[in-house]
Amino acid sequence: MSVATPEPDAETADAGGVSSARRGLNSLMRRLEVDTRLLGMILALLVIWIGFDLLTGGRFITPRNLFNLSVQTASVAVMACGMVLVIVTRNIDLSAGSLLGVLAMVMGVVQVDVLPTFLGFNHPLTWLVTLLVGMALGAVIGLLQGGIIAYGKVPSFIVTLGGLLVWRGAAWWTTTGRTVAPLDSNYELIGGGVEGTIGTGWSWVVGAVAIAAIVLLTLRNRAQRKRFGFPLKPIWAEAVTAGLLIVAVVAFVMTMNAYPLPSRIAEEMAAERGIEVPPGGIGHGIAVPVLIVGAVAVLMTLLATRTRFGRYVFAIGGNPEAAELAGINTRRVVMFVFMIMGILTAIAAAIASARLRSAANDLGTLDELRVIAAAVIGGTSLAGGVGTVAGAVLGAVVMQSLQSGMALVGVNSSLQSIVIGLVLVLAVFIDGFYQRTRR
């Protein structure tokens, strides 16, 4: 006697199909070893770009706008690389914007009022000495704030909130309110612009170096895994991951090179080289501040993931008491994290002031909120112990994309602030939800 097996209804079949598709997607993500939060941010960024491009009639996704977007993002992205370590250690830095302002003013005074007495105007070393002075002062201020937090046991919120007021006042006091200009011509190259680029040829060289680094790192990581007996990704997964990164590099270089120089400058450049201006003009290439962001991001990633100091930082963020019991000098690590933040803020101050070709008192206003938002949107948890430099840089791009897109659409500045604030709250909510689901 046979028993009839009931056939599943349509709803059950659909649910089974969805579950099967979900399992298949999860399996694919595991094989590719993709950070789902980072992937989510990339998709969100694409949605933002496409949305603003449609709203502006195709004016957002253009070489000109993307070039300007990359330059405008640079100063916040540099500081966000340092803010990741600060937040990972369960601290916060509310003084970043004010510190950027005072460091920019000091560097402006150094190159305009001090160095010309000894070196003259536009000396080849002026920009370097100015930048070193700014970085040294940023390191001292970072050590001061970090020392009070770590050894004085004063909460970082209070120390850096006081710093927000102190350094903003110090920026005004440095020059009694005047705007410092004009800046050294070589120093201004740090800010990008027409002359602050490396040209199309060198841009392809940088792109080739980046592609070679991607290939070599992929092969090296696979060899290391095999050597220590770790599970290996399938070959196709390695090829897909590396291939997507290479495509992104090539697309970025092509976009930067597609933005032509003004005709007059292109003609002068062609005359110097003894060539004719091509029909499409001469492209800008990659801007200097973008190269600085790339160098800072690589160095900070290596510091966070390949050094003992980086492991200590994440250990402190994960469990401060356990880290101290394990013999880690937690106070010294925290103090040096704030020192690094001060140095990176000086670099960001140089980029911001050089881009504007002046140092004004309001420079860096509210940048501390943009930097914190970039780090949090990029996946850095306010609970500590979790964060990536790449995510923070991507978060800075998301923040600037929102601001630039709203400006192109014609949204007034007050509404822009409302949107940015809501995005920050949403990012923190998503982070909390993500942390709860992992438990």
pLDDT tens-digit readout, 84-100: 999 999 999 999 999 99
Query: Per residue in 23-56, pLDDT tens?
Result: 655 666 666 666 677 788 888 899 999 999 999 9
Average confidence score pLDDT of the chain: 87
Cis-peptide into 260, omega within 30 deg: no
pTM over the 0.95 mark: no
pLDDT band at 262 (very low <50, low <70, confident <90, very high): confident
- Which residues fall within 8 angstroms of residue 12, CB to CB, at 6 or more apart? none
With 60 as the cut, is the pLDDT of residue 10 above it? no
- Model confidence over 116-126: pLDDT tens digits? 888 888 888 99
In the chain, what percentage of residues exceed pLDDT 70? 87
pLDDT confidence tier of residue 349, bands split at 50, 70 and 90: very high
Of 41-50, 172-181, 346-355, 413-422, give the range with the top mean pLDDT: 346-355
> Bigger pLDDT: 4 or 401?
401
For residue 268, pLDDT over 50 is answered with yes
pLDDT computed for residue 6 by the predictor: 53
Amino acid letter, 186: N
Determine the pLDDT at residue 23.
Answer: 63
User: pLDDT value at position 1?
Assistant: 44
Residue 22, pLDDT score: 60
CATH class in words for 36-47+60-192+288-438: mainly alpha
Span of 61-70, 85-94, 273-282, 418-427 with lowest mean pLDDT: 273-282
Beta carbons of 149 and 91 less than 8 angstroms apart? yes
422 CB-side CA count, 13 A: 8
> pLDDT tens, 62-91?
999 999 999 999 999 999 999 999 999 999
pLDDT of 278 strictly over 90:
no
Give the integer Cα–Cα distance in Å for 340 and 328. 18
pLDDT of 233: 78
Residues 256 and 200: their CA atoms lie apart, in Å, by: 8
**Cβ atoms of residues 131 and 200 within 8 Å:** no
Residue 137 CA to residue 153 CA, distance in Å, equals 23
pLDDT at 44: 87
Instruction: For residues 196 and 82, give the distance between their C-alpha atoms in angstroms, rounded to a whole number.
Output: 24
Tell me the pLDDT band of 344, cut-offs 50, 70 and 90: very high
**Residue range(s) occupied by CATH 1.10.3470 in the chain:** 36-47+60-192+288-438
Note whether 358 and 5 are within 8 A (CB). no
